[in-house]
Amino acid sequence: MAIEKQYLPDAEAILSHRHDNGADLWTTPDRRLLKGAPWSALESAMFLLELGMEPEDPLMKQMAELFFSAWQEDGRFKVYPTGGIYPCQTIHIAEALCRMGYAADPRMQKTFRHLLDTQQEDGGWKCNKYSFGRGPETEYSNPFPTLTALSAFRFSEYLNKEPALDRAAEFLLWHWTVRKPVGPCHYGMGTLFMQVEYPFRNYNLFVYVYVLSFYDRAKKDERFLEALCALEDKLAEGQVVVERVVPKLAKLSFCKKGKPSALATKRYHEILENLGRRP
């Protein structure tokens, strides 16, 4: 599907920020892939895909080449020229490349293996960076990177075949019960989590239900069904209404705050299809 005519102004707006960070393709001269959110290289590519740009588009192929330029032989992605490589960085770039159609690429296969090899005992993934200090809650994995990892794996042959991914799903279902902030980055399920954010870019109810709907381990679980019910309670005549969007995206038509979004509703319909329900 190409970008529909009604969304071309949104695409043009995103493209207008292409050099904001000092170099082409929304990146910096030293190729920082996550710098400048929401107009980072990573997020800008995801917005364009969400609008319907094909992975085969020449621009998307350039973006994929840019992302793979950060790939390391051990399967990780180095998104900044200096400093450590954190699991969340690898996970976010891996998910992007999977959404761009590269899940079967040999490099991605190595990345999948790396992620499975570095999974924590509780089923999730975490970075050994404690910006909020240490406490009992920081012993747990980080829920959002874990959810994003599952989003990447849903494109792979591991989907619903790898027990390790069932453990990751269970960790996230456990978080629905606990709700409190956990992990070194303190991901909780409070007021902000329960607001429908679109496009997907933070840990929130909508992306939580969307990703878990691909996993058999979650689909019939009471905790997942409660989360789904909470999402459906927010629908307006069957459509997803955007409750939260980053201010810099506020003028884009596909994600207007307080308005139904056809593209967000399309994601909701995917949830229903994953559950064997008709939209």
Residues 213 and 276 reside in one and the same domain: yes
**What is the C-alpha separation between 65 and 62, in angstroms, rounded?**
5
Residues 181 and 110 reside in one and the same domain: yes
**What is the C-alpha separation between 195 and 186, in angstroms, rounded?**
18
Buried b (16+ CB within 10 A) or exposed e, 210-238: bbbbbbebbbebebbeebbeebeeeeeee
Domain-ending residue, one of 161, 189, 217: 189
pLDDT by residue (tens digit) across 78-129?
999 988 899 999 999 999 999 999 999 999 999 999 999 999 999 999 987 7
**What is the C-alpha separation between 179 and 193, in angstroms, rounded?**
10
Domain-ending residue, one of 145, 168, 189: 189
Residues 142 and 203 reside in one and the same domain: no
pLDDT by residue (tens digit) across 210-256?
999 999 999 999 999 999 999 999 999 999 999 999 999 999 999 99
**What is the C-alpha separation between 219 and 215, in angstroms, rounded?**
6
Residues 195 and 251 reside in one and the same domain: yes
Residues 185 and 195 reside in one and the same domain: no
Q: List the domain range (segments joined by +) for residue 212.
A: 190-279
Please indicate, yes or no, if residue 43 is contained in any of the structural domains: no
